[in-house]
């Protein structure tokens, strides 16, 4: 032990000396580097900005990790001695690595360190600096992100790195992004010819960010002089801007229509259950919204179970929640029909009051069980994010899935009504109750099942709405008015009318919103519906023949 111990000490000493000798020439530089890092950590905002620029200029390989720590807010200062360190989450606090030497500093409590203040602006600067540094990264995805970061920052100092990267780039998508970034930088070039060429390169693309850059060139300052001094470049930029504006305007209308369809699908989901209970059965069901709410809370409960028992399967929790919500809301609907509504058939005012009271009871019940605060329902990973078109229109996945889901539910419901025995009995009972009974149909059983079906569909709507709205006891209230509106507007008793009503209301609302604002737009739509109902009291798609009388 003594011998090996001594030898170990000796080896260590030799090692330290060797290291010192090797480091000696760069020690002064190292001191500068450490000073820059310290300036980045504790300086005023302008000093931090200068420190980032100076650090990038050193070309030191340690810079990237430090800048990434700034961008991710992981840079810390140790309170005891002011040492700057990069932190990583650890069960007992933070595990620190010295930002300058890379030494492991062990795990500390988060109280013992101060987070380096890095606001949005600073983190953005760090991000674009990282972009410059990672243009040559072996991973094409990283290179693409780097090119995008440079494009957004228009940072002239990245030009040489960009040229070099562009020469070696093999991936087409990345090449395009780099060319775009290069042109964006050259918009600020001193040479008018280079600017002109950059405007032409960018003018061929349809991107809101490019419009923003071109618009900036054409801005007049207060004394009447333009940002862009060269007239030819200005003319080219104006032309390019007009062309982009024109293309974007077409896209924008397409975007409004898509948003309208999306709103329409939400309205359809909320109203389709009511189209059964109110439209087909004639029950003024004020507790319909609470069935939607029950569905949303079922989603929450299902997700909690998944979180506790099988966190790895969280992504499928929503698929499990759909049938669960159907069953919960459907059973609640059957219980309501058997317990209350069947005694009130043919007395619409009393039904209205009873179901209104019921809705208040259900809200308070949920408030008591789950608490008054909103519950957090997570989105599975396949519903997050968006498809970005180049024209700045984003189609978010959650909305896309909801459009799809609403159409599937609608098709399923049509199938049940047209192609199954239960559907046949339902239609028979609603068209002529006495005759249906005479034919041997158990009408009270059919009533209960029909109400259950309508409520169950409302429950499924709750699953979808939990993805875009707050899950709170008041969730249902915000949809009940819209639901009645859609059913009445579309034509009572007709599912196709509900479909047409939901989508036309959605699209009309979204086309009006940009011009009239959200509040006035809604009012205008309401007024239009009132006028429409005056003209056509039976709604868009009116039932014909004897069924109307039933």
Partner 1 sequence: MGLFGRIARWGAGAALASALTVGAPAAMAQEGEPIRIGILHSLSGTMAISETTLKDVMLMLIEEQNAAGGVLGRPLEAVVVDPASDWPLFAEKARELIEQEEVDVVFGCWTSVSRKSVLPVFEELNGLLFYPVQYEGEESSRNVFYTGAAPNQQAIPAVEYLMSDEGGAAERWVLLGTDYVYPRTTNRILRAFLNANGVSDDDIMEEYTPFGHSDWQTIVAEVQEFADQGLPTAVVSTINGDANVPFYLELANQGIDAADIPVVAFSVGEEELAGLDTEPLVGHLAAWNYFMSVDTAENEAFIAAWHDFIGDDTRVTNDPMEAHYIGFNMWVQAVEQAGTTDVDAVRQAMYGQEVANLTGGVAVMNTNHHLSKPVLIGEILEDGQFDTVWETDGVVVGDAWSDFIPESAVLTANWTYPWVCGNCETPRF
If the CB atoms of residues 26 and 373 are measured against partner 1, the closer one turns out to be 373
Cβ contacts of 54 within 8 Å, gap of 6 or more: 36
Nearest approach, Cβ of residue 430 and partner 1 (Å):
33
Question: What is the binding site for partner 1 (CB under 8 A)?
Answer: 45-46, 73, 111, 114-115, 117, 119-121, 123-124, 127, 152, 208-209, 211-219, 252, 255-256, 259, 262-263, 266, 372-376, 378, 384-386, 388, 392-394, 396, 398-399, 468-470, 472, 474, 478, 510, 513-514, 517-519, 522
**Whole-number Cα distances in Å, 156 to 53, 70, 160, 187, 193:** 12, 22, 9, 10, 17
Cα dihedral sign, 362-480-414-296: negative
If the CB atoms of residues 264 and 539 are measured against partner 1, the closer one turns out to be 264
**Residue 223 DSSP label:** T
If the CB atoms of residues 210 and 429 are measured against partner 1, the closer one turns out to be 210
CB 379 within 8 A of CB 398: yes
Q: Closest Cα partner for 126 from 190, 61, 53?
A: 53
Nearest approach, Cβ of residue 433 and partner 1 (Å):
39
CB 197 within 8 A of CB 381: no
Cβ contacts of 163 within 8 Å, gap of 6 or more: 182
Give me the helices (H) in 420-476, please: 421-431, 433-438, 443-465
If the CB atoms of residues 82 and 514 are measured against partner 1, the closer one turns out to be 514
Q: Closest Cα partner for 187 from 163, 162, 210, 220?
A: 210
Nearest approach, Cβ of residue 291 and partner 1 (Å):
18
CB 485 within 8 A of CB 505: yes
If the CB atoms of residues 102 and 517 are measured against partner 1, the closer one turns out to be 517
Nearest approach, Cβ of residue 191 and partner 1 (Å):
21
* Total residue length of the chain: 550
If the CB atoms of residues 121 and 536 are measured against partner 1, the closer one turns out to be 121
With H, G, I as helix, E, B as strand and everything else as coil, classify residue 340.
Answer: coil
Nearest approach, Cβ of residue 76 and partner 1 (Å):
12
With H, G, I as helix, E, B as strand and everything else as coil, classify residue 386.
Answer: strand
If the CB atoms of residues 223 and 549 are measured against partner 1, the closer one turns out to be 223
Nearest approach, Cβ of residue 164 and partner 1 (Å):
27
Nearest approach, Cβ of residue 521 and partner 1 (Å):
9
Buried b (16+ CB within 10 A) or exposed e, 493-520: bbbebbbbbbbbbbbbbbbbbeeeeeee
CB 236 within 8 A of CB 200: yes
Nearest approach, Cβ of residue 155 and partner 1 (Å):
14
If the CB atoms of residues 345 and 370 are measured against partner 1, the closer one turns out to be 370
Nearest approach, Cβ of residue 528 and partner 1 (Å):
18
If the CB atoms of residues 134 and 277 are measured against partner 1, the closer one turns out to be 134
What's phi and psi for 258, nearest 5 deg?
-60, -45
For the chain, how are helix, strand and coil distributed in percent, rounded to 5? 70, 5, 20
């Amino acid at each position: 032990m003594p011998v090996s111990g001594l030898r170990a000490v000796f080896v260590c000493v030799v090692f330290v000396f060797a290291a010192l000798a090797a480091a000696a020439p760069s020690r002064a530089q190292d001191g500068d580097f450490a000073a820059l890092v310290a300036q980045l950590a504790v300086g005023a905002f302008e000093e931090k900005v200068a420190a980032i620029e100076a650090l990038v200029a050193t070309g030191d390989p340690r810079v990237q990790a430090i800048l990434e720590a700034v961008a991710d807010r992981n840079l810390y200062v140790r309170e005891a001695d002011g040492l700057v360190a990069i932190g990583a989450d650890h069960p007992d606090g933070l595990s620190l690595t010295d930002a300058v030497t890379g030494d492991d500093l062990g795990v500390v409590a988060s109280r013992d360190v101060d987070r380096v203040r890095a606001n949005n602006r600073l983190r953005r600067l760090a991000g674009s600096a990282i972009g410059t540094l990672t243009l040559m990264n072996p991973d094409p995805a990283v290179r693409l992100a780097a090119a995008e970061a440079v494009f957004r920052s228009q940072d002239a100092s990245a030009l040489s790195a960009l040229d070099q990267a562009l020469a070696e780039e093999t991936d087409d998508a990345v090449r395009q992004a780099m060319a775009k970034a290069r042109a964006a930088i050259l918009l600020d070039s001193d040479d008018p010819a280079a600017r002109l060429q950059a405007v032409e390169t960018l003018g061929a693309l349809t991107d809101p960010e490019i419009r923003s850059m071109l618009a900036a060139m054409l801005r007049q300052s207060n004394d009447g002089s333009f940002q862009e001094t060269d007239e030819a470049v200005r003319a080219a930029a104006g032309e390019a801007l007009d062309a982009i504006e024109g293309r974007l305007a077409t896209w924008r209308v397409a975007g409004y229509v898509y948003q309208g369809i999306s709103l329409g699908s939400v309205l359809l989901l909320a109203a389709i259950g009511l189209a059964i209970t109110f439209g087909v059965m004639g029950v003024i069901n004020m507790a319909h919204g609470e069935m939607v709410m029950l569905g949303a809370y079922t989603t929450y409960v299902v997700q909690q179970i998944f979180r506790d028992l099988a966190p790895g399967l969280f992504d499928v929790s929503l698929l499990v929640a759909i049938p669960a919500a159907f069953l919960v809301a459907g059973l609640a609907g059957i219980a309501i029909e058997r317990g209350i509504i069947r005694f009130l058939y043919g007395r619409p005012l009393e039904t209205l009051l009873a179901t209104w009271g019921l809705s208040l009871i259900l809200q308070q019940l949920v408030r008591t069980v789950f608490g008054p605060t909103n519950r957090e329902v997570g989105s599975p990973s396949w519903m997050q994010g968006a498809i970005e078109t180049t024209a700045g229109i984003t189609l978010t996945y959650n909305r896309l899935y909801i459009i799809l889901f609403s159409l599937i539910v609608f098709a399923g419901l049509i199938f049940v009504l047209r192609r199954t025995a239960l559907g046949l009995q339902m239609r028979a009972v609603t068209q002529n109750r006495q005759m249906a009974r005479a034919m041997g149909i158990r009408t009270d059983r059919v009533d209960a099942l029909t109400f259950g079906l309508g409520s169950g569909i409302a429950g499924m709507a709750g699953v979808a709405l939990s993805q875009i709205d707050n899950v709170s006891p008041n969730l249902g209230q915000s949809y009940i008015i819209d639901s009645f509106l859609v059913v009445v507007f579309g034509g009572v008793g007709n599912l196709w009318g509900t479909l047409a009503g939901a989508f036309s209301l959605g699209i009309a609302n979204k086309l009006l919103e940009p011009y009239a604002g959200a509040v006035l737009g809604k009012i205008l739509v309401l007024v239009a519906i009132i006028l429409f109902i005056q003209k056509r009291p039976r709604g868009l798609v009116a039932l014909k023949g004897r069924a109307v009388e039933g």
